Amino acid sequence: MSSLSRHIGLFHLTMYGVGLILGAGIYVLIGEAAGFAGNALWISFILGAVVASFAGLSYSELTALFPRAAAEYVFVKEGFRSNFIGFLVGWLTILTSIIVAATVALGFGGYVEELTNIPIIISALIILGVLSLVNFIGIKESAWANTIFAIVTIIGLAIIIVVGFSFPLESEINYFENPFGVNGIILAFILVFFAFIGFEDIANVAEEVKRPQRTMPRGIMLSVLITTIIYILVSLASIRIIGWEQLAESSAPLAFVAEQRLGQQGHFILSIIALFATASTILITLVAGARIFYGMARDGSLPSKLGLIHKKTKTPWIAVILILVAAIGFSFIGDIVIVANIVVFAVVVTFAMINLAVILLRYVKPDQERPYKVPINIGKFPVLPLFGLGATIYMATQFEIEIILVGLGIIASGAIFYFIYNKMK
């Protein structure tokens, strides 16, 4: 079986992570979150960054220890010494990647419809097809495309920050004011956490990264740091321009923010930039999903055909096609807030398992060389992954029962597939 090619350095990896994180979430969900947290929205972003950082540190240690595709599957399988538990986490990661790609493609279609009147589903299917072709052509091309998308996305957010802080305030703003108290900040934090997820998909291109033991931890933490600063500034700037009430009522919040300072032209510019932001999220989830398929197939947990590498492009081409077909199927799902909560629940469960895997591996494989270790340890025991585990367990209990049941249903479907497939092998 052919192997993947190492083309990605620290810059592209960091931009890959920034592109993952700065995708559709901030452009779509900031208004919904403002309705919960009010002027204190920035606090919700800080809480999201803290939980993401705990997970990011754990991913950094594990990717340096096991720089392989299908990262979550490998980490959990090694930590728990269980193919079954590892498979369930891999399954959860695959389905969330597919659902995110499909849902964000619909978001892309919504912006296109606003600009051109082309039906949402048509644009969604076209963007899935085009970006799957980029995914097939090669990781180097995917990384370059994503770097361009990420830069354009950052420019859009920079516009919001500049116009937000360059105009004098008409009246003082209390940045701690919120309509629902601490509970509102917590609810907003859980929702905006969708805007942080994605950096974990960096781990799934580890086999295509130069010097992964050094580059992976740096890329993960740099991407989380850069995006956290941008999110806090964007939330403060948006509230300075229109206040949390108008932010909460807008269906295209950042485009509306730009329109208040720059007129209709500002709305148009931010809508175009939002297309790049959503395209970035779609591309990276398609890339990551295909690599998870590839890694699990190579390990024997999925049919071996999914692990085939194209001789010319050096990409897992059958996995690329399968994730495209699945994403097209899921693109007929609607409400992005509901789907965002399903995805966040699945990611929270995954992060809990990743933090626990770091702790277990310190005892299961204590003598294995660790090019990077999570800081703050008591003997072998890593303290920060324990905090990360506690935070994710708390988050998992805050979702509506319907969201939890859907998440558990996805896990159950993975268990059923695992036992059927292993009986057929």
- Residues 373-414 have pLDDT tens digits of 888 999 999 999 999 999 999 999 888 898 899 889 999 999
Mean pLDDT of the chain: 85
Per-residue pLDDT reduced to its tens digit, 160-188: 999 989 887 767 888 898 888 889 999 89
Domain architecture of the chain: domains with CATH:
10-424 (1.20.1740.10)
Q: What are the Cα distances from residue 250, in Å, to 1, 244, 246, 301?
A: 51, 10, 6, 45
CA gap 139, 296 in Å, rounded: 19
User: What does the angle CA 386 – CA 387 – CA 390 come to, to the nearest 5 degrees?
Assistant: 85
Per-residue pLDDT reduced to its tens digit, 291-344: 888 888 888 888 888 878 888 877 788 888 889 998 888 787 656 667 777 888
Q: What are the Cα distances from residue 203, in Å, to 32, 97, 199, 206, 362?
A: 30, 14, 8, 5, 19
pTM over 0.75: yes
